[in-house]
């Protein structure tokens, strides 16, 4: 897991899949060895959530068909009796959002294969998914000293999921009021997190996503500065993501960011 994280932060796109696939096989083998026993080991819980976060964000970070992501893996379901509605301090969002993000990734890939023409089944699935994502807006946070910032990281993920659904599945244009609302909600959530807070480590996907979709000068400046704050703390993946975001802005391309980077043969994992 550490090797995979290091690969992602250093932009080593040749080996991170191999290492993440290895983590999945090791965790699966361990859980198989336990049979139906309940796993109370907090270290294993941490590893499963760390893996899940990396896996989910890999599936949402572009157009490549990653292949590890999928509900059939069931590592979360096998580790926890039920997914907690509370916001998790490792992932930065409620674990109940995880299967919804997985379904979102699958819908994005379906749209890519369909040539971005909306099919009736995709429309129906996207509307159902939207309602389920919205139902998680008001998740509670354990009072552990960081509850206000965790509430903000969770909201940043929820509204980023809606942004991806609206832009990458339902094909709303950037200037649509719904898209503008998504962007406002993401930026508003991030603004409630102090620039020096370690909680910023969790929110690269929401920050980058908002940056790619907004044309508002003030929002772009805020996002660029926030990514710069994280860059100054040595977060390597923020450095690469910030460079790619700048490239995207300079291009003034009409393409969505995932298609733009795919056409350039560039890949990133927003973790």
Instruction: Tell how far CA 38 is from the center of its chain.
Output: 28
The residue segments making up the domain with residue 229 are 39-263
Spatial distance between the Cα atoms of 162 and 131, rounded to a whole number of angstroms: 10
Spatial distance between the Cα atoms of 168 and 259, rounded to a whole number of angstroms: 10
Phi, psi of 180 (to 5 degrees): -60, -35
For residues 83 and 33, the answer to whether their CB atoms sit within 8 Å is no
Does residue 13 sit within a domain?
Answer: no
Task: Give residue 114's pLDDT.
Answer: 87
Q: Is 112 helix (H, G, I), strand (E, B) or coil?
A: helix
Spatial distance between the Cα atoms of 106 and 69, rounded to a whole number of angstroms: 9
Task: Give residue 266's pLDDT.
Answer: 84
Instruction: Judge whether residue 72 has pLDDT over 50.
Output: no
Instruction: Judge whether residue 144 has pLDDT over 70.
Output: no
Does residue 269 sit within a domain?
Answer: no
| Residue 57 host element (H or E) | helix 42-60
Instruction: Judge whether residue 148 has pLDDT over 70.
Output: yes
The pair of three-digit structure tokens given for residue 100, joined into one six-digit string: 């919804």
Instruction: Judge whether residue 150 has pLDDT over 50.
Output: yes
As a whole number, the mean pLDDT across the chain is 86
Task: Give residue 71's pLDDT.
Answer: 43
The pair of three-digit structure tokens given for residue 173, joined into one six-digit string: 């244009």
Mean pLDDT of 190-204: 92
Instruction: Judge whether residue 155 has pLDDT over 90.
Output: yes
- 38 to each of 41, 53, 185, how far by Cα in Å? 9, 22, 38
What is the residue whose two structure tokens read 């369909």? 114
The pair of three-digit structure tokens given for residue 84, joined into one six-digit string: 């907690």
Does residue 192 sit within a domain?
Answer: yes
Instruction: Tell how far CA 34 is from the center of its chain.
Output: 30
Q: Is 94 helix (H, G, I), strand (E, B) or coil?
A: strand
Q: What is the pLDDT of residues 98-108, one digit of tens each?
A: 999 989 999 99
Does residue 258 sit within a domain?
Answer: yes
Task: Provide the sign of the torsion angle of the four alpha carbons 58, 148, 211, 7, taken in this order.
Answer: negative
Model confidence at 68, in pLDDT bands (50, 70, 90)? very low
Name the residue with higher pLDDT: 236 or 187: 187
Instruction: Judge whether residue 250 has pLDDT over 70.
Output: yes
Does residue 8 sit within a domain?
Answer: no
Q: What is the pLDDT of residues 209-247, one digit of tens each?
A: 999 999 999 999 999 999 998 888 766 688 889 999 999
Percent of the chain with pLDDT over 90: 43
The pair of three-digit structure tokens given for residue 269, joined into one six-digit string: 């994992």
Instruction: Judge whether residue 175 has pLDDT over 50.
Output: yes
| Number of neighbouring beta carbons within 10 Å of residue 87 | 26
Model confidence at 129, in pLDDT bands (50, 70, 90)? very high
Mean pLDDT of 145-153: 84
Does residue 162 sit within a domain?
Answer: yes
Q: Is 87 helix (H, G, I), strand (E, B) or coil?
A: strand
Does residue 20 sit within a domain?
Answer: no
């Amino acid at each position: 897991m550490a090797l995979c994280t290091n690969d992602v932060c250093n932009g080593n796109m040749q080996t991170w899949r191999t290492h993440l696939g290895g983590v999945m096989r090791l965790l699966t083998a361990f859980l198989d060895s336990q049979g139906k026993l309940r796993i109370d080991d907090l270290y294993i819980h941490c590893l499963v959530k760390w893996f899940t976060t990396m896996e989910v964000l890999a599936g949402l970070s572009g157009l490549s068909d990653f292949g590890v992501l999928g509900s059939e893996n069931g590592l979360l379901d096998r580790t926890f009796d039920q997914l907690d509605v509370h916001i998790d301090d490792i992932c930065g969002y409620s674990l109940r959002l995880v299967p919804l993000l997985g379904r979102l990734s699958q819908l994005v890939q379906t749209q890519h294969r369909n040539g971005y023409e909306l099919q009736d089944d995709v429309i129906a699935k996207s509307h159902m998914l939207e309602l389920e994502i919205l139902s998680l807006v008001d998740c509670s946070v354990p009072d552990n000293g960081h509850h206000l910032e965790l509430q903000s990281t969770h909201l940043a993920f929820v509204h980023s999921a809606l942004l991806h659904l609206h832009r990458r599945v339902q094909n709303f244009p950037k200037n649509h009021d719904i898209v503008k609302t998504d962007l406002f909600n993401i930026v508003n959530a991030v603004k409630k997190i102090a620039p020096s807070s370690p909680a910023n480590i969790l929110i690269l996907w929401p920050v980058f996503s908002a940056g790619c979709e907004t044309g508002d000068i003030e929002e772009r400046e805020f996002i660029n500065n926030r990514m710069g704050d994280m860059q100054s703390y040595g977060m390597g993946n923020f450095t690469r993501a910030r460079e790619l975001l700048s490239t995207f802005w300079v291009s003034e391309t009409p393409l969505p960011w995932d298609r733009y980077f795919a056409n350039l043969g560039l890949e990133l994992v927003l973790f």
